[in-house]
Structure 1
Amino acid sequence: MMRKILIVDDDQKTRTLLKAYLEKNQYEVRLAHNGESFLAEFQRYIDELSIVILDVMLPDTDGFALCKTVRHRSNVPIIMLTASSDETDRIVGLELGADDYIAKPYSPRELLARIKAIHRRTGIENTSAPRFYRFVGFTLDTVERSVVDADGSPVTLTGMDFQLLKYFVEHPGDILDRSVLCEETRGRDVGPLDRSLDVQISRLRLRLHDDGKQPILIKTVRGAGYVFSADVSVSNV
């Protein structure tokens, strides 16, 4: 599995610290100090990266703009670093396609834990598990980590969106509570006031053309969680 990480942060001390810490834990790290240098590095290593880490506040742009650019070009997982305690920053990042966020100040150990959680979720699949999951014209491929519709057109999903959908199709008809879904997609539970899962569910419904007001695929079970109600078939071909 590729373990190359690209980090953009305008603080040299932070960059140096993270690089040393992550390399000690067997990751290859590329660094950028602003948006321009990040985009150059991203274009150079786009097919080799396993995660990109974006600081929200940068001297020549912001992490949200970079997040949007990355998501237009790649499905690589994105972790955003925000100094704001305002929930708005986190929601905006998730809506633009980020997979996780960390509020500053944070420890390198916490960042490493988030990276490992994403790598566990996006690593090599168990070969005994089915490769393909098919439902209402869609096909989810666990090896290619892709989803196509009935016409064979790709469905654009973030890494976290894919993991959420994969968990749904693995458990059709089961009522899944918020804590389980957050654990599967973020590696941790979230507080009752955190709307990040709701944003992600809404985004996933939109990608699957599932009416948010009267959803057919992903239904809300009030007070209990969510249920994936479509029939799912599995195969390896």
Structure 2
Amino acid sequence: MSQTSPRGSDARPHVAILDDEPEIRRMLSDALEEAGFRTSSFARATEFEAALNRMTPDVCLVDLGLPDRDGLALVHRLALESGAAIIIISGRAQVQDRVTGLELGADDYIIKPFDPAEVVARIRARLRKGRADPERAATVARFAGWSADFDRYVLVDETGAEVPFSHAEGEVLRLFLDSPKRLISRAQMQESLGGAAGESFDRAMDVRISRLRTKLGEDPKNPRLIKTIYGAGYIFLGDVDWG
């Protein structure tokens, strides 16, 4: 059974919680409401997906161990179709599970058991990153025959054809477009995008950059826009016009 706080003119950030354990849903909802968030809680993926037709959460907390749907498949769909930040909450603690979740488009991965205060802090950090420049949040960047629309999470080519990108891919793309023709090191990426440094973060960045190159029609062996500077980081070589 789902629980949804009233909407009205409530401007508080909205967090959707998907977990089949009622105690965890209650614990997260209580902590988030006390911290100033609005929440909706769901025990099953089918309820959650149906609710997405009438709500637009800012953050989705998704448990991977769902009774009616593969959690990773749901994360991947949300990453492609939703503008929300996606945070996985799971008892799966293996590095490969974390890497897979991030590769499929999650923005963060929290292992059970957890302190609700940590979840609140992670959500606040994620929203601060996404809203660091409110004036720019609704703008479009143009470069090399492409337009990147960060309101709609789509790339548009010269013919008008649209290619969707995920929230996580958008964070990486924005980082490049905000600093064209400047070297961005792995350490700078980790500081800007958050998440724990290490193998899982590096692999997640590699996957997201690879996907961005594919969506931009780049030759993986000789990309013209997003260049890898081995041992140093990445550099975006296009001219960028923010409109």
TM-score when normalising by structure 2: 0.85
Residue 23 of structure 2 corresponds to residue 13 of structure 1: yes
The answer to whether the aligner puts 1:183 opposite 2:191 as a matched pair is yes
- Indicate whether 1:29 and 2:39 are aligned: yes
- Distance in 1 between residues matched to 2:224 and 2:12, nearest whole Å: 37
Distance 1:40 1:219 in 2: 41
How many pairs does the alignment contain?
232
Match of 1:140 among 128, 148, 154: 148
Deviation at 1:142, TM superposition (A): 4.9
Alpha-carbon deviation of 1:103? 2.0
- 1:32-71 alignment, distance < 5 Å: 32-45=42-55, 48-71=56-79
Where do residues 127-166 of structure 1 align in structure 2 (5 Å cutoff)? 127=135, 131-142=139-150, 146-166=154-174
Task: Quote the offset at 1:91 in angstroms.
Answer: 2.7
In structure 2, the CA distance between the partners of 1:29 and 1:162, relative to structure 1 (3 Å rule), is same
Alignment of 1:51-130 (within 5 A): 51-123=59-131, 125-127=133-135
Counterpart contact for 2:138–2:151, Cα < 8 Å? no
Q: Using the alignment, how far apart are the partners of 2:150 and 2:52 within structure 1?
A: 25
- Displacement, 1:189? 4.4
- Identify the residue that residue 4 of structure 1 maps to in structure 2: 14
What is the identity percentage for the equivalent residue pairs of Structure 1 and Structure 2? 35
TM-score (norm 1): 0.87
SS at match of 1:75: coil
Runs of 5+ consecutive residues of structure 1 not aligned to the other structure: none
**Worse-matched range after superposition: 34-43 or 141-150:** 141-150
SS at match of 2:164: coil
Structure 2 distance, partners of 1:76, 1:52, is 7
